[in-house]
Amino acid sequence: MSEPPPDTSLLVEDLAFAYPDGHQALFGVDLRVERGERVALLGPNGAGKTTLVLHLNGILRGGRGAVRVAGLPVDRQHLQEVRRRVGIVFQDPDDQLFMPTVGEDVAFGPRNLGLPEAEVTARVAAALDQVGMAGSADRPPHHLSFGQRRRVAVATVLSMHPEILVLDEPSSNLDPAGRRELAEVLEALPVTMLMVTHDLPYALQLCPRSVVLDDGVVVADGPTRELLADTHLLAAHRLELPFGFDPANVP
Ligand SMILES: Nc1ncnc2c1ncn2[C@@H]1O[C@H](COP(=O)(O)OP(=O)(O)OP(=O)(O)O)[C@@H](O)[C@H]1O
């Protein structure tokens, strides 16, 4: 495994992985994301995006190749530290919210780290503020709208002070206002971001760079605006812009 320069947040080298049933989902993926970059991970259903993401904090391991997060190898020895540094926001916020109140959900991770209660309280307040949910700490998550629950799910990860935020389809099931509000939240976060999305305008708005995965390999990696203007690339990998959407017209 080559030594990444200190500014590399994510380094994936020749990653190949087959599920226990023998299905090969990744065939040698290389990906390097520098600190502070926002990168969209695009690709059709079944391309291997989730499989790749689950390698970033060691939920899946054991294939060929190597993954490093903030310079640390993702292996048994470094798993705890890796999981502190990489926060994954799953598609369904209800997978991430399980406590009686929003505040307890956001406090759960920092408390598990054994941080002093004053530090936990400060982190909860800051994370809720970052996602525009200050004042909701005492509410039960199931009383919130879907969009609010997704923002709280982001806060549960931010309270761990991750260096890298990985989001799985963050705009799915949001109404247009909720989608825009979440974009404003994400744009303001000072973290490295990898965003899995089928929402190509969202990728263009938030991520200067995109990586296209298909059939378990990276088939394109470059400026989002250029990739989305490549009609052959889009057609070849089942990527479709919304009707009437022209990336060239987006400022
Ligand atoms: N637990 C599993 N066991 C066997 N095969 C799996 C498993 N999970 C996923 N796969 C297969 O691995 C391939 C990649 O799946 P993956 O979920 O990573 O794709 P994806 O790009 O995230 O797709 P989507 O856009 O639909 O979420 C698919 O062919 C899928 O059927």
How high is the pLDDT of residue 5? 57
How high is the pLDDT of residue 232? 97
What are the sequence ranges of the domains in the chain?
38-54+89-239
Nearest residue to 89 (alpha-carbon basis) of 106, 72, 110: 106
CA–centroid distance, 110 to ligand 1, in Å, is 31
CA–centroid distance, 182 to ligand 1, in Å, is 26
Cα-Cα-Cα-Cα torsion 79, 41, 147, 103, nearest 10 degrees, comes to 20
How high is the pLDDT of residue 68? 95
How high is the pLDDT of residue 169? 95
Closest Cα to atom 17 of ligand 1? 50
CB 152 within 8 Å of CB 97: yes
How high is the pLDDT of residue 88? 95
How high is the pLDDT of residue 244? 87
Q: Determine the residue of 23, 56, 91, 167 to mutate for testing ligand 1's pocket, defined as the one with the most ligand atoms within 8 A of the Cβ atom.
A: 23
33-53 residue pLDDT tens? 999 999 999 999 999 999 999
CB 19 within 8 Å of CB 45: no
Low-confidence ranges of the chain (pLDDT < 50): none
How high is the pLDDT of residue 7? 81
Q: Quick one: how far is CA 16 from the chain centroid?
A: 20
| 156 Cβ inside 6 Å of ligand 1 | no
How high is the pLDDT of residue 208? 97
Per-residue three-class SS string for 113-182: CCCCHHHHHHHHHHHHHHCCCCCCCCCCHHHCCHHHHHHHHHHHHHCCCCCEEEEECCCCCCCHHHHHHH
Per DSSP, the three-state class of 237 is: coil
How high is the pLDDT of residue 120? 97
Per DSSP, the three-state class of 39 is: strand
Closest Cα to atom 24 of ligand 1? 45
How high is the pLDDT of residue 214? 97
Angle at 16 between CA 15 and CA 18, to 5 degrees: 145
Cα 251 to Cα 249: distance, rounded to the nearest angstrom: 6
Q: What is the ipTM of this complex?
A: 0.98
Give the fold, CATH level 3, of 38-54+89-239. Rossmann fold (3.40.50)
How high is the pLDDT of residue 250? 84
